[in-house]
Structure 1
C-alpha cells in the first residue's frame, strides 16, 4: 500500500477493534486495515458519530476531506459517508486523486442518483462491490466501466469461526440476523417439523419489518425460539450446536452474507434464499442449498433432508469450511480491497 494513503469509514468502536485483535471477537476488515496498512485511518464510530444521521455523515465527511486533502490514495469504506466525501471533493478540489469507493447496496436509488445522475462516479478511480450481479448493475445502470470495478464478495474470520470437535446431538437448525430476513417463511417451515429452530434476532423485527402486532409476534410454534443471543461467543456456540444454518431473505438485495459465511466457516451447510445478489457464495447441493423466495414448503423439505442425512450434511459442511478458507477469509478480502492501489 502506498505510504500516502487514508482509509475513511464508519468503522467500529475501539473496544470491538481491540476485542478482534485480542481474538475475543471476530476480525473484520476495519480492524485488519487499522494495523498499519494505511498512513491515516478516520472512523465515525471512534468519534461517536451516527452513520444513520445525514448531518453527522456530512460533517464527518468534510472533516475527513480536510484531514486528507494532501493524500493521494483514498479508500472510502462505505457509501455513507463516502458519497458525502465525494461531494465535498467535487466542490472544493479540482485535483485528481486515486479514490476508491466500496458500494454495498447498488440497488439503492440514493446511490444511483449520487454516483450516476450527479456524476460523483467521475471522482472515482475504482469501485468495489460484493457480487458479480452488483458489478453488472454498476455497469448497466450506473454506467461505470467494467474494468474499473472489482468484486470483493465478503469475508469471515475463519480463525474465530471454525468447526468444533463435538458433533451436534440434537435436531437443531439456527438462523441469525435481522436485516431483510423472511422469518415468516422460516417459522412456517418449522411448524410440524421434528426439530428445534433457534433464531438469533431481536423480536422487535417481527413488528418493525413484518408489520405484525405484538400478540402475533409472540405466537411462535413450540419448537421455535427467537431472541437475542447477546454476543459473538454465544452466537458461535449456537452455530456449533446446529446441524445447519438458515438464511431466509426477503427482498432481492445483498444481505445475509455475513451469517452465511459464519455458518460455512463453522463447517455447517447453509440454506440461503436465492436472489441474484447472493449467487456465488454457496454452491447448491455442494456447500448447502438455495431455496426459492417465500417458499416455506421447500425450505422445510431442505431442512428435513439435512437433518435426516447427517453424514451428507457433515460432508457439505466440510466443503463449506474449505470454501470459506479458500475464498472468503479476511486476508483474501483485504487483498482484493487493496488491489486497485
Structure 2
C-alpha cells in the first residue's frame, strides 16, 4: 500500500491536554513512513516542540482557539489553498476549533475532486454533548469519529445517536520505553527529604477543582491518622493550588503533603518514587495518560470508576476502583495497598504487562493506519459506484 498523506490539526497552544498525544501520534505515523503534516497555533509552545521533534509543519495557520473573525478567515483561506494544491488523503482534527476550521475550508470544494480528503475527528472528551453546535459538528461534520475510550464511544453512539459504524474506539498510548519499571525514584525521595521506606502516595494532574484533589486530601487525612509516616505528593500546576494548600493546613497535614509543581523532564522518576498512584478524574485529553504512565512504571493505580479510568484499571488486578466522591472508600483503598506492599507490587507488574499489551504507541499507530486505509478504500469504492 502506498503511504498516505495525512494532515493533523490541533488548536492547542500549550504542552497540555491533547497536544502531547497528538504529537506522539504524528511521530509514530512518520516512523511508519506516512507523509504527515501537522498544523498547530503559530508561535506556540507546541509549535516549538514539534519543530524540535522534526515534525513537518503547515506554515501560515494561526489556529487561535480564541475566535477572531479576521484571523479565522485567513486560516480558512490558507487551509483551503493548501488542500487545493496538496493531495491530502486524511484530514484529522482533534478539537472543536480546528474541526470547524476544517469544515469551513473543505465545504466549497467539489466533493468529486481528489482535493477533498477523508475527514476524521478524534473526540478526546465530550463535556457538552447537548450543545447544538457540538452536536451538529459530530453528527454531520466528519467522515468518521474516533473515541479515546469506551465511555466516550457510548456517549457518541447512545447520547448523540451517531451510527456505530461511524465511530471507532482507539485507546490512548504511552511511551513505555521512557516510562518503565527499572527507573529509580531515589533522587526524588532525597529531593523531598523522604526515606526509601516512607509510604508515598501521588497524583499527577492539573490543579483544578474538577480533578479530585480535595477528595484525595480528605481521604489522605484519614490515611495519615492511621499511618503517620505516609506522605502525599501532589504533582502539577494550576489555579486551584491556593485552595488546596489552604485545605491541607486546615486538615493539619502540614509537611505530610508535598506540592512539587509541574514536572515534565523527570516525571518518570517522580512516578518511580511512588508506592501508590491515585487519579480521580480524566483530564482534557480523555485518555487518562497519567494513569497509563504510572502503570508503565509498574505502580498500582487507585482510580474513580469514571471515564477511561474504568477501562484502564482492572479492579483487584492492576489497582483498585472506587466510586466517585467516596472519601472513605478512597482512604481504605490507599491504606490497604500501603499496608500490603507485595500485593501492590504485583498489581504494578500486572499493570505494566497491560500497558505493553494494550496501550503501546505501536498498537495505537497500527490501529489508526488500519482505520485510515479502510476509510480510503470505502471512499474509493463509493467514487467508483457513483461514476460507474
- TM normalised by structure 2 equals 0.73
Question: Higher relative contact order at CA 8 Å, sep ≥6: structure 1 or structure 2?
Answer: 1
CA contact (8 A) 1:203 1:226 kept: no
Aligned residue pairs: how many?
Answer: 325
Query: Counterpart of 1:204 in 2: which secondary structure?
Result: coil
Q: CA deviation at 1:242?
A: 0.6
Q: CA deviation at 1:115?
A: 5.3
Partner residue in 2 for 1:200: 235
Uncovered stretches (5+) of structure 1, i.e. residues with no partner: 21-26
Query: Counterpart of 2:324 in 1: which secondary structure?
Result: coil
Deviations 1:285-316 (A, max 9, x none): 11011111112211111111111111111000
Q: CA deviation at 1:276?
A: 4.3
Partner residue in 2 for 1:30: 26
Partner residue in 1 for 2:124: 104
- RMSD over aligned Cα atoms: 3.3
Partner residue in 2 for 1:177: 205
Query: Counterpart of 1:174 in 2: which secondary structure?
Result: strand
CA contact (8 A) 1:271 1:290 kept: yes
- Are 2:8 and 1:8 equivalent residues in the alignment? yes
Partner residue in 2 for 1:240: 272
**Are the structure 2 counterparts of residues 298 and 126 from structure 1 closer, same or farther at C-alpha, using a change threshold of 3 Å?**
same
Query: Counterpart of 1:64 in 2: which secondary structure?
Result: helix
Uncovered stretches (5+) of structure 2, i.e. residues with no partner: 45-61, 186-195, 373-388
Deviations 1:144-173 (A, max 9, x none): 211121101111000000012658632001
Query: Counterpart of 1:54 in 2: which secondary structure?
Result: coil
CA distance in structure 2 between the partners assigned to 1:263 and 1:3 by the alignment: 34
Query: Counterpart of 2:160 in 1: which secondary structure?
Result: coil
CA distance in structure 2 between the partners assigned to 1:321 and 1:313 by the alignment: 12
- Are 2:71 and 1:71 equivalent residues in the alignment? no
Deviations 1:76-107 (A, max 9, x none): 24124432234314532241532211111223
CA distance in structure 1 between the partners assigned to 2:118 and 2:313 by the alignment: 33
CA contact (8 A) 1:131 1:279 kept: no
**Are the structure 2 counterparts of residues 30 and 90 from structure 1 closer, same or farther at C-alpha, using a change threshold of 3 Å?**
closer
CA contact (8 A) 2:157 2:163 kept: yes
Rg (Cα) greater in structure: 2
**Are the structure 2 counterparts of residues 272 and 66 from structure 1 closer, same or farther at C-alpha, using a change threshold of 3 Å?**
farther
- TM normalised by structure 1 equals 0.82
CA contact (8 A) 2:126 2:152 kept: yes
